[in-house]
Amino acid sequence: MIAAVVFKLTAAALVPSSFELQEIVLMAIGREGGGGPWVAIENEMVLLWMWLTSSTNLPIDWARTVPFVKLNGDISLLLVLTRLPAFLTDVATTLVLYLVVRSSSSAERARLAVLVWFLNPYTIFAVELLAVPDILAAFMTLVATVLALYRKSVFSGVLLGAGIALKLYPVLLVPVFLIVCLPMVRRKWLFTIEYAAFIGLGLLGYFSWASAAGALPISALTTYGPTLQPMDSIFNTFPGARISLVTVVLVVTYAAMYLGARRRQLNLAIVVLATLLIYFSFSDPYPQYFLWPLPFLVIDLACSKRRGVLLTTLVGLQLVDWFFVSDGFLTPSGYSMLLFALKSQNLGGYSLSIGMFLDQFGDFWVVIASTLLYAISLIYALDVIRWWFISSDSVDYASEVSNS
């Protein structure tokens, strides 16, 4: 783990991986639109960098237009500081994964979960190199799920609401938490009121900063949102269609959960994982959104190694998909992950040449990779549900975790 920490921090200091990071810096200093808790945190990191280096301004030329920069000590420090919040959340997620798997299984499986999460190439790229804010929302969702298993409903609701305030997607899990947790509590009315209050505060916080930043007016939810995707973007129908396939799938999923909960006690962690994978399979999300189900996938791998091949394939396809659609890699857009010349001064032209070559068939591979990715996500979700139903000890899993 010490070696992994050193490697991650070294990579964070030496690899200005993409224009996503440059956009974060520009938003943090108010040069670009955007807002929210994560930008506020990054702003504090930038101010700390200015104080530590006695700098009065940022390397704006680098942040705006220069794709290939020559690193120095100040730039490396800026890279580390802007990624530090994501790195610390990564470490916290690692600790939670270890404790959860250790309490329900064994130390050996807990170490497996830690290594799969902390040394995962997808996690390293998304967290230590891009510092995407999804890691904080994923951490809060994971802890909210664990607290619900331990019957700590108040703290669970607080964290789930905080996750919604940061990133809207945990709102998809609110019906899951209510369906699974309500049968396990005595004062159902009090539990419902508490969750409604916390979720409402989370939604209020999200809409307040998103609308103020101009990123998401409330009216935008009638067109694009976590569960509302225009039908024409899926089936290429007329622009007025606003019935969403992913919404229909989620409603069916919630209904199946409700019917299942009437017959037997559901496993909250498994249901959350299945819901996120099903949503992921039908919603055409950004590559960074794979962080949402990944902690639960790691727990599932530690508890059942039989799906290791599926998880490895998912991560590999996600990286391939990201390769073609993001500026973070050496992509068809022409930008290298290493945005500075190592030895060859012609690296820029080399990168652009490869980008032009990939442009000839990049769209084809995006379709292939995305289709396989979403198909395997759905297969994984169905296999998780099937395995839980045929497992003899799955009914009492939640209570066993709570008692342990």
* Contact criterion met (CB below 8 Å) for 131 and 86: yes
- Is 347 within the bounds of a domain? no
Lowest mean pLDDT among 74-78, 222-226, 281-285: 222-226
224/222 Cα distance (integer angstroms): 6
Q: How confident is the model at residue 243 (pLDDT cuts 50, 70, 90)?
A: low
Residue 319 lies in a domain: yes
Total domains, the chain: 1
The yes-or-no verdict on residue 335 having pLDDT over 50 is: no
Q: What is the pLDDT of residues 187-200, one digit of tens each?
A: 777 778 888 888 88
What gap in Å lies between CA 252 and CA 69, rounded to an integer? 50
**Distances, alpha carbon 273 to alpha carbons 62, 220, 224, 246, 293, in Å:** 40, 27, 23, 16, 6
Residue with the bigger pLDDT between 301 and 358: it is: 301
Of 68, 58, 6, the closest CA to residue 32 belongs to 58
Q: For residue 339, is it within any domain? A: no
Percent of the chain with pLDDT over 90: 20
Residue 154 lies in a domain: yes
Report the pLDDT value the prediction gives residue 88, as an integer from 0 to 100. 94
Distance CA 296, CA 149 (A): 14
Any domain includes 340: no
Task: Please report which confidence band the pLDDT of residue 285 belongs to, taking 50, 70 and 90 as the band edges.
Answer: confident
pLDDT score of 395: 41
Which domain range does residue 41 map to? 2-328+361-403
- Torsional sign, CA 196, 202, 205, 207: negative
- Banded model confidence at residue 142, pLDDT cuts 50, 70, 90: very high
Q: pLDDT tens digit string along 337-383?
A: 444 433 444 444 555 555 566 566 556 777 787 888 889 999 999 98
Q: In this structure, are residues 329 and 337 in contact, taking their beta carbons and an 8 Å threshold? A: yes
The answer to whether residue 355 sits within a structural domain is no
Residue 163 corresponds to which tokens in the numbers above?
A: 């996750």
pLDDT band at 297 (very low <50, low <70, confident <90, very high): very high
Using CA atoms, how far apart are residues 4 and 6, in angstroms rounded to an integer?
5
Q: Rg of the chain over CA atoms, in angstroms? A: 22
CA atoms of 19 and 72, how far apart (whole Å):
18
pLDDT confidence tier of residue 336, bands split at 50, 70 and 90: very low
- Cβ(296)–Cβ(275) under 8 Å? no
Cα separation of 314 and 312, whole Å? 5
The pLDDT score that the predictor gives to residue 181 is: 81
Q: What is the pLDDT of residues 122-136, one digit of tens each?
A: 998 888 888 888 899
Q: Is the pLDDT of residue 238 over 80?
A: no
> What integer best gives the mean pLDDT of the chain?
76
pLDDT, average across residues 131-159: 89
Residue 90 has pLDDT above 50, yes or no: yes
Residue 338 in any domain: the answer is no
The verdict on residue 352 lying in a domain is no
Q: Is 377 exposed, middle or buried (0-12, 13-18, 19+ CB in 10 A)?
A: buried
Could you give the dihedral angle defined by the CA atoms of residues 329, 331, 336 and 337, in that order, rounded to the nearest 10 degrees?
0
Q: How far apart are the first and last CA of the chain?
A: 26
Is the pLDDT at 294 greater than 90? The verdict is yes
Q: What is the reported pLDDT for 350? A: 52
